[in-house]
């Protein structure tokens, strides 16, 4: 090429220098391309050709119940075991996220729940383990426990949120006979505030009552804690309840019916608040003696002798101001059919205690109406000088007719 061509073609000194400086750039780019691993390597290849695949942990985790199990037994624990390794963290949680506690074996190869499972509940299990080379294995499983086919419940007295008299026991009647009384009683707690010892007594396989040694103190807050869910009351029969029931003890009112004197003396908060003339049971139908607790109250109710095995001796559709004292049918109630002169003078009833009243229960000034208005469920009526034996404690809420030592001996704990 001539000098003219070099000048006219733009080959100045600057152009030649630029051309020389560009060569290393091309060379550098070529070197970077070669560092990508060659054929098929690409910039994302992370290991050299021929490198071994990562090894898996030799630890093998087994969970029981197995993953996906439906109807797993809720009476059995969850177990997690590992072969060729040592367990790390294990968690079991229920469907609400609550964690079930457990214990790891000293050798680190097994883990077992230490609290009971619940029926009809989904559980999730997460476990990890390491082998001798510190490689980690993991297991995540889930299962659902069975719902029992045979169940029982406890029907309790008094009602939640109620205000009761100082003599009201906690009485629980079970829907099916209980054979494991200890297990059932352990699942029931009665707490008092202010605190006082409360003990249980089994009247039968279907009834368990609780009370303190003496009447409750006025103002006491009592809480019944039923934790019967999944407790085996009998073989294959499980409880379903897990709930708290609370009630309050009101003012202290107790009454003494002296059927020799023909009087009902009412004491409220330590002082005599009223004395009423009454009619008690006749010599043929004497009133039970002993302490009885008002369990039900009716402004008016029907009383029929056939319901207490006395044939057709009476059928009164509108007995006023009636309050139940025994299951068998003893009431303290108003009476409008006997002459006023009979009250306090003669015992002529079929076993009930009667106070003067009017038909229709419409007069608040009668003795029966006044006593009814002053009473609440849980008040105690003690009958003395009736000429009959003490009422069976289980006939109503007659718990106070059992001495404290005998009462405590009647529990299962």
The pLDDT score that the predictor gives to residue 312 is 74
Least confident of 18-32, 315-329, 331-345, 365-379: 18-32
CATH number of the domain residue 344 falls in: 2.40.440.10
Q: Residue 217: which domain range? A: 151-250
Same structural domain, 312 and 209:
no
Asked if 277 and 361 count as a contact pair (C-beta separation under 8 A), the reply is: no
Same structural domain, 139 and 122:
yes
For residue 66, is it within any domain? yes
Rounded to an integer, the average pLDDT of 189-218 is: 98
Asked if 343 and 356 count as a contact pair (C-beta separation under 8 A), the reply is: yes
Same structural domain, 206 and 319:
no
Other C-beta atoms closer than 10 Å to the C-beta of 392 total 15
Q: Rounded to an integer, what distance in angstroms lies between the CA atom of residue 238 and that of residue 236?
A: 6
For residue 27, is it within any domain? no
Q: Rounded to an integer, what distance in angstroms lies between the CA atom of residue 125 and that of residue 92?
A: 5
Same structural domain, 244 and 267:
no
Other C-beta atoms closer than 10 Å to the C-beta of 34 total 10
Of the pLDDT bands very low, low, confident and very high (cuts 50, 70, 90), residue 50 is low
- Pairing type for strands 315-324 and 331-335 reads antiparallel
Same structural domain, 168 and 209:
yes
For residue 342, is it within any domain? yes
Q: What is the token pair recorded at 407?
A: 């009462």
Which of left, alpha, beta for 261 (phi over 0: left; psi -120 to 50: alpha)? Answer: alpha
For residue 211, is it within any domain? yes
Q: Which of 285, 321, 333, 350 is catalytic?
A: 333
Domain boundary (250, 265, 289) is at: 250
Nearest to 149 by CA among 232, 238, 231, 242: 238
Is 31 known to be catalytic? no
pLDDT in tens, 241-262: 999 999 999 999 999 999 999 9
Is the pLDDT at 44 greater than 70? The verdict is no
Same structural domain, 260 and 396:
yes
Same structural domain, 276 and 342:
yes
CATH number of the domain residue 232 falls in: 2.60.40.3710
Is the pLDDT at 21 greater than 60? The verdict is no
Same structural domain, 98 and 234:
no
For residue 21, is it within any domain? no
Nearest to 151 by CA among 225, 72, 234: 234
For residue 193, is it within any domain? yes
Q: Rounded to an integer, what distance in angstroms lies between the CA atom of residue 375 and that of residue 163?
A: 11
pTM of the predicted protein model = 0.81
Domain boundary (127, 145, 163) is at: 145
Q: What is the domain count for the chain? A: 3
* Beta strand ranges found along 65-185 (DSSP E): 70-72, 79-83, 86-94, 102-104, 110-113, 122-130, 136-145, 151-152, 154-157, 163-164, 170-174
Is the pLDDT at 106 greater than 80? The verdict is yes
Of the pLDDT bands very low, low, confident and very high (cuts 50, 70, 90), residue 306 is confident
Q: Rounded to an integer, what distance in angstroms lies between the CA atom of residue 137 and that of residue 207?
A: 53
The pLDDT score that the predictor gives to residue 51 is 65
Same structural domain, 363 and 342:
yes
Domain boundary (99, 120, 145) is at: 145
Asked if 175 and 263 count as a contact pair (C-beta separation under 8 A), the reply is: no
pLDDT in tens, 123-161: 999 999 999 999 999 999 999 999 999 999 999 999 999
Same structural domain, 138 and 155:
no
The pLDDT score that the predictor gives to residue 10 is 39
Same structural domain, 392 and 257:
yes
CATH number of the domain residue 109 falls in: 2.60.40.3780
For residue 45, is it within any domain? no
Rounded to an integer, the average pLDDT of 29-37 is: 35
The pLDDT score that the predictor gives to residue 304 is 85
Rounded to an integer, the average pLDDT of 337-350 is: 95
Of the pLDDT bands very low, low, confident and very high (cuts 50, 70, 90), residue 311 is confident
Q: Rounded to an integer, what distance in angstroms lies between the CA atom of residue 172 and that of residue 174?
A: 6
Is 352 known to be catalytic? yes
Residue 49 CA, distance from chain mean position: 65
Same structural domain, 313 and 370:
yes
Sign of the alpha-carbon dihedral angle for 12, 17, 22, 23: positive
């Amino acid at each position: 090429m001539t000098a003219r061509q070099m000048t006219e073609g733009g080959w100045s000194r600057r152009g030649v220098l630029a051309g020389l400086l560009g060569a290393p750039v091309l060379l550098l780019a070529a070197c970077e391309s070669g560092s990508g691993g060659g054929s098929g390597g690409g910039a994302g290849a992370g290991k050299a050709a021929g490198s071994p695949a990562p090894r898996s942990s030799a630890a093998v985790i087994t969970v029981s119940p197995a993953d996906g199990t439906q109807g797993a037994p809720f009476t059995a624990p969850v177990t997690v075991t590992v072969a060729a390794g040592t367990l790390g963290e294990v968690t079991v949680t229920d469907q609400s996220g609550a964690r079930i506690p457990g214990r790891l074996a000293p050798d680190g190869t097994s883990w077992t729940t230490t609290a009971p499972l619940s029926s009809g509940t989904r559980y999730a299990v997460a476990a990890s383990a390491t082998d001798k080379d510190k490689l980690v294995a993991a297991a995540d499983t889930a299962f659902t426990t069975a719902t029992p086919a045979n169940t029982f419940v406890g029907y309790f007295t008094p009602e939640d949120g109620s205000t009761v008299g100082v003599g009201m026991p906690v009485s629980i009647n079970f829907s099916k006979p209980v054979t494991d009384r200890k297990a059932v009683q352990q699942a029931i707690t009665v707490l008092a505030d202010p605190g006082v010892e409360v003990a249980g007594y089994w009247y039968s396989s279907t009834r368990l009552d609780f009370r303190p040694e003496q009447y409750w103190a006025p103002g006491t807050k009592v809480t019944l804690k039923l934790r019967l869910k999944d407790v085996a009351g009998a073989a294959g029969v499980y409880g379903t309840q897990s709930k708290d029931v609370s009630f309050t003890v009101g003012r202290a009112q107790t009454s003494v019916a002296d059927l020799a004197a023909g009087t009902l003396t009412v004491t409220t908060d330590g002082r005599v608040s009223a004395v009423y003339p009454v009619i008690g049971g006749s010599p043929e139908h004497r009133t039970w003696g002993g302490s009885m607790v008002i369990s039900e109250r009716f402004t008016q109710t029907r009383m029929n002798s056939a319901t207490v095995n006395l044939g057709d001796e009476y059928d009164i559709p509108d007995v006023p101001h009636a309050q139940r004292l025994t299951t068998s049918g003893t009431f303290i109630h108003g009476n409008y059919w006997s002459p006023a002169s009979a009250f306090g003078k003669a015992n002529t009833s079929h076993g009930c205690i009667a106070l003067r009243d009017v038909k229709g229960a419409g007069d608040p000034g009668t003795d029966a109406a006044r006593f009814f208005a002053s009473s609440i469920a849980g008040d105690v009526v003690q009958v003395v000088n009736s000429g009959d034996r003490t009422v069976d404690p289980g006939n109503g809420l007659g718990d106070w007719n059992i001495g404290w030592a005998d009462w405590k001996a009647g529990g299962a704990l």
